Copies of this chain bind each other. A is one copy, B any other.
């Protein structure tokens, strides 16, 4: 796999991202892993579904890696996001950023997860004990009552 950012229906191994960014110039790798949590505000999740328009999502992930390089300079970034059905504790996303020194690795990794939730077209359907709901953008500012969002909904950045 040559890509440094990708979507996949298969389980993600954090090492797939970490190994892509470890290098002679780096002394620090920060990895953020998002996992499926059972309870949110007292509500029990049974499982989740993520859907995405893959080519657009991968383009946006690549944009985030570029933004990090512009902001922090000597960085290398790998991001994998899973789609499809995920069970409780499954890994939904892995971000790995390597930098010479640790402060930058922490900041850039944090930046990456916030940007993923802002600009990457990946939608989450929550399957709760008492029903389901498509959540809109991952910041959850927008919800879609019945269906997947339309292509127009994805024209933001």
Partner-B contacts on A (CB < 8 A): 13-15, 18, 22-40, 88-89, 91, 98, 100, 102, 105-106, 109-110, 113
Contacts and interface: CB of A to CB of B under 8 A. Distances in A.
Contacts of A105: 32
Contacts of A40: 27
A23 B38 CA distance: 9
A82 to B, nearest CB: 14
Given A14-B31, A15-B13, A33-B31, A23 B106 contact: no
Contacts of A32: 28-31, 102, 105-106
A102 B102 CA distance: 18
A89 B28 contact: no
A38 B24 contact: yes
A34 B110 CA distance: 17
